[in-house]
């Protein structure tokens, strides 16, 4: 099919339909609809097929974006699915949760003047529709190497590693503490962004590729790590980051102050019907909620509290809107759902005697850039204000919490708690113990799903080379 060079002018960007805010806040289901084949082809045809595709370079896994857009334009769905999986082990998930506005779509040549190609929605369409039509990974040419790898953590890094290992004839067993796979894909990201049947479908695909899962199992507690060392040729660690960052201000320990992740996990357990006395359901119905933090986790807390029936939800962030780390899409969705944003507000204290009563904040202005390149918020004298609240959610991010057994097995960590790994050479993501590799948030620090996928895939490639040496 010949390509119309001006299709981007004749066909405007059109996202899949989105449910109205008034209706979607009544449930936890996904809010976006789906392209049909004709819509996906028309939107894919808007791509200019740039000679040096900036979208690919900005994508952490370097997807062959223009190539699979062209395949979709020409109706070659299964070929597009195969090509998509060459670089991404979880494309249907990344299509849903990636901040495309800051990655591929933000780098699209059409972004400013004509509206970027809707890359994320098309990526989601490719795998969703291909699977629905019967596509499965072709494993017919895979030769079993006889090697076995243990993977600790069934989050995006671990799942990506398992995918690449299977395609290279290396069998893996994935261990996880949760009752199902996905890590934060299942238990941290709310269903309105990622329906859990999508993760369950990916589990079926991986099991069809020969991957085994051992769940409800904590390595180091329920199963000694020594057993993995004894029974497998190599080990991959993809255990994520679960130690939340504190604000270090008065009142953080008051009743009514909640960590973001346990709050989100408790709601998902409730939605999935799990009963666990260690994960009590936390409802913020009829409460005035203040969320502290401007990342995607903060946006998830905003929108969860709204759906639980909070009286009001305010989100305070110490920088301005332009410098928020959260996805622009998620900020916009929060606003549509009646979340009130208070930018340039830095918390000083959570006020209360027996429970939370308010948050004292001070207005800020951005000063000079710090060592991380970001302009630092500086308090404005005399600008303090009180935000009344019944509940406060701390969403300042997460950091690694390395287990004690790392030292016993020669797995060194950096002062930050992140695992020390090789970045160059034949075995990327190899730890200081040659048989143990690591990737994802526990190596990089809390980051995006797609970066964890990238590191899991790269580590698996390193493991394959290590086992063949």
CATH number at residue 206: 3.50.50.60
Residues 13 and 65 in one domain: yes
Q: Which residues pair with 388 in a beta bridge?
A: 358
Strands 257-259 and 391-394: parallel
- Which pLDDT score, from 0 to 100, does residue 197 have? 97
Q: Where are the alpha helices (DSSP H) in 183-247?
A: 184-187, 196-208, 225-231
Strands 234-237 and 436-438: parallel
Asked if residue 451 is part of any domain, the answer here is yes
CATH number at residue 118: 1.10.1060.10
**What is the 8-class DSSP label of residue 17?**
P
User: What's the total number of domains in the chain?
Assistant: 3
Token readout for 61 is 């896994």
Taking the C-alpha atoms of residue 265 and residue 170, their distance in angstroms, rounded to an integer, is: 33
Residues 349 and 424 in one domain: no
Taking the C-alpha atoms of residue 31 and residue 458, their distance in angstroms, rounded to an integer, is: 33
Residues in the chain: 469
- Decide which of 77, 102, 132 is a domain's last residue: 132
Residues 283 and 328 in one domain: yes
- Which pLDDT score, from 0 to 100, does residue 424 have? 73
Residues 154 and 53 in one domain: no
Asked if residue 141 is part of any domain, the answer here is no
- Which pLDDT score, from 0 to 100, does residue 1 have? 46
- Decide which of 132, 156, 183 is a domain's last residue: 132
Residues 354 and 429 in one domain: no
- Which pLDDT score, from 0 to 100, does residue 347 have? 97
Strands 243-244 and 398-399: antiparallel
Residues 112 and 157 in one domain: no
369 Ramachandran zone, left/alpha/beta (phi>0; psi -120 to 50): beta
Q: How far apart are the first and last CA of the chain?
A: 46
Residues 186 and 229 in one domain: yes
Question: Which strands, in side-by-side order, build the sheet including 288-292?
Answer: 257-259, 391-394, 288-292, 312-317, 340-343
Residues 313 and 404 in one domain: no
- Which pLDDT score, from 0 to 100, does residue 4 have? 63
Residues 248 and 390 in one domain: yes
Please state, as a whole number, how many other Cβ atoms lie within 10 Å of the Cβ of residue 440: 33
Q: Per residue of the chain (469 residues), give pLDDT as tens.
A: 445 666 777 899 999 999 999 999 999 999 999 999 999 999 999 999 888 899 999 999 999 999 999 999 999 999 999 999 999 999 999 999 999 999 999 999 998 888 999 999 999 999 999 999 999 999 999 999 999 999 999 999 999 999 999 999 999 999 999 999 999 999 999 999 999 999 999 999 999 999 999 999 999 999 999 999 999 999 999 999 888 888 999 999 999 999 999 999 999 999 999 989 999 999 999 999 999 999 999 999 999 999 999 999 999 999 999 998 888 999 999 999 999 999 999 999 999 999 999 999 999 999 998 888 889 999 999 999 999 999 999 999 888 889 999 999 999 999 999 999 997 778 999 999 999 999 999 999 989 999 999 999 999 999 999 999 9
Note whether 275 and 298 are within 8 A (CB): no
Residues 387 and 426 in one domain: no
Taking the C-alpha atoms of residue 5 and residue 433, their distance in angstroms, rounded to an integer, is: 53
Question: What is the residue range of 321's domain?
Answer: 243-394
DSSP per residue, 320-346: -GGG--S-HHHHHHHHHTTPEEEESEE
Asked if residue 449 is part of any domain, the answer here is yes
- Which pLDDT score, from 0 to 100, does residue 3 have? 57
For residue 207, what are the contacts with CB-CB under 8 A and spacing of at least 6? 213
């Amino acid at each position: 099919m010949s390509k119309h060079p001006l299709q981007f002018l004749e066909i405007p960007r059109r996202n899949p339909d989105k449910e109205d805010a008034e209706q979607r806040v009544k449930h936890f289901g996904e809010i976006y609809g789906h392209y049909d084949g004709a819509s996906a082809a028309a939107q894919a045809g808007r791509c200019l097929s740039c000679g040096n595709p900036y979208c690919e370079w900005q994508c952490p896994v370097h997807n062959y974006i223009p190539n699979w857009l062209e395949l979709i334009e020409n109706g070659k769905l299964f070929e597009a699915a195969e090509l998509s999986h060459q670089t991404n082990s979880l494309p249907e998930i990344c299509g849903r949760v990636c901040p495309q506005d800051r990655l591929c779509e933000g780098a699209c040549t059409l972004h400013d003047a004509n509206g970027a190609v809707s890359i994320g929605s098309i990526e989601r369409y490719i795998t969703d529709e291909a699977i629905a039509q019967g596509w499965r990974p072709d494993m017919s040419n895979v030769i079993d190497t006889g090697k076995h790898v243990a993977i600790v953590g069934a989050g995006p890094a671990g799942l990506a590693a398992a995918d690449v290992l299977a395609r290279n004839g290396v069998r893996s067993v994935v261990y996880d503490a949760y009752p199902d796979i996905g890590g934060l894909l299942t238990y941290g990201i709310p269903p309105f962004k990622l329906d859990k049947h999508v993760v369950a479908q990916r589990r079926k695909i991986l099991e069809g590729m020969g991957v085994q899962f051992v769940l409800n199992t904590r390595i180091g507690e329920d199963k000694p790590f020594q057993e993995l060392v004894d029974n497998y040729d190599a080990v991959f660690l993809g255990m994520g980051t679960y130690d939340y960052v504190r604000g270090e201000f008065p009142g953080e320990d008051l009743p009514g102050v909640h960590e973001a992740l346990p709050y989100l996990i408790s709601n998902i357990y409730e939605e999935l019907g799990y009963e666990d006395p260690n994960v009590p359901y936390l409802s913020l119905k009829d409460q005035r909620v203040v969320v502290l933090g401007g990342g995607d986790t903060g946006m998830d807390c905003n929108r969860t509290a709204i759906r639980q029936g909070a009286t009001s939800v305010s989100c305070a962030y110490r920088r301005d809107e332009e410098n928020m780390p959260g996805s622009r899409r998620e900020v916009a969705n929060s606003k549509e759902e009646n979340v009130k944003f208070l930018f340039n507000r830095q918390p000083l204290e959570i006020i209360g005697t027996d429970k939370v009563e308010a948050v004292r904040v001070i207005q800020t202005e951005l000063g000079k850039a710090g060592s991380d390149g970001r302009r630092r918020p500086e308090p404005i004298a005399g600008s303090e204000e009180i935000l009344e609240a019944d509940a406060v959610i701390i969403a300042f991010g997460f950091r690694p919490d390395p287990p004690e057994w790392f030292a016993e097995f020669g797995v060194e960590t950096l002062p930050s708690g992140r695992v020390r790994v090789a970045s160059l050479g034949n075995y990327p993501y190899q730890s200081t113990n040659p048989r143990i590799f690591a990737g994802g948030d526990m190596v990089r620090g809390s980051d995006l799903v797609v970066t964890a996928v990238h590191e899991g895939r790269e580590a698996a490639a390193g493991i394959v080379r290590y086992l063949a040496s």
